[in-house]
Homo-oligomer: A and B are copies of this chain.
Amino acid sequence: MNKVEPRTLAGFMELLPDEQILFNQMKSIIENTYKKYGFLPLDTPVIELSEVLLAKAGGETEKQIYRFNKGDNDLALRFDLTVPLSKYVAKNYGNLSFPFRRYQIGKVYRGERTQKGRFREFYQCDIDIIGDGELDIINDAELPSIIYEIFTQLGFKDFTICINNRKILNGLFENIGQKENSTEILRIIDKIEKIGKDAVINELEKIEVDKKSIEKIINFIEINGTTDEKLEKLEKLGIQNETFLQGLQELKQVVKYIRMFGISDLNFKVDLTIARGLDYYTGTVYETFLNDYRELGSVCSGGRYENLAEYYTDKKLPGVGISIGLTRLFYKLNELNLVKVEKKSISDVLVIPMIENLETPILVATKLRKLGINTEIYLNNKKLKTKFKYADKLKIPYVIVIGEDEVNSNTITLKNMESGEERKIDIEKLDEIKL
């Protein structure tokens, strides 16, 4: 028979089992943390009507969409989890309780040019809090506490959640008469980390921002010091613009509550350069950096938006959310050997029968499973050496060999595969076993 070469598309992550175990542990930490804070699960389809999915999209995104016809339908694969959320909330408005706190962890699709570390199919792990008409600013402070919890659980200590408020920037632009240019200016100053101050000035000059305004913008961006010093310096700018003052007020409140949520100033700061792309966010914005690995870029970003679902409904639905791009994050951390491992294997114990009669091995495995211990019985007729090698390759931490002696004495020997240490245990007392 002619064989087809078994291959996987470029840009699609497909892991070997030992890496998949690590990936799933990261995913579980994120999901369990979202649940710990009371977010409700959502699972929307991967395929949607293009008309629905692309109600807002345009430009770069639209080019990347996987779009096709099936029967009479013009279909598309979701490219994020926010648009499906918008649709969902608009569609089910009457059946939801607000504030609607939902998490969704799922694959999204973007046909980007493939390159190392970029994926066309990748997991996003999102939470959003949606208000019905209004949503208190304190919600903007709860999300950083969840980011903090997740990255702490993932084994990181030295990370910084950077916070800003888009109204401060917008108000500044209004104040210096550059409101029309604000989207463009935001886009430019968002790049200051990457391209540096001079290049930013240069780009601002190119779009004909006058020298005085550029000076104000740069002075503003260069506000430095501790979070409290920055807030104070912002105040001292004396800008009498309503948007600016509202943004400053919000930022102060968010800072106050973030501290109340127990996040130390070591793990968050006000960073006035963060704008988070174009016109989506309208208030608080977040980015998160692993300080020893700044080159990863932001590992968790998000912010506040005025109106979630305006393309589908007249209802005003303000929200705040964050997203973790898990596939890329895992890829990078794994490359750096930074995936914190609680368990390297699925099975905790491999039971190896060395007798024909499997009653005792099955009895032992059943008892262990009842204790919540994942247990595999090696069911194939191989040499003992092969069976141990299997345990070794799968990194199973404990092995129990059961032969005639064990059956006759009604005891088993639990072998720690790493230390080599062996423990004899009475089968009757297996219920008290601690690994």
Contact = CB atoms under 8 A, between A and B. Distances in A.
Interface stretch (A170-178, A192-200, A296-304, A375-383): A375-383
A36 B16 CA distance: 20
Interface residues of A, number: 96
Contact of A16 (B39, B92, B311, B379): B92
Contact of A375 (B37, B40, B75, B377): B37
A394 interface: yes
A435 interface: no
A49 interface: yes
A37 B373 CA distance: 9
A45 B95 contact: no
The 8 closest A-B pairs by CB, nearest first: A38-B376, A68-B68, A38-B347, A6-B90, A12-B45, A6-B312, A17-B40, A6-B91
B41 A20 contact: yes
Interface string A353-389: 0000011001000100100101111011100000000
Interface string A246-277: 00000000000100111000000000000000
Interface stretch (A135-143, A224-232, A409-417): A135-143
A48 interface: yes
B312 A39 contact: no
Interface string A1-38: 10111111100111111001101100000000001111
B261 A48 contact: no
A191 B44 CA distance: 36
A80 interface: no
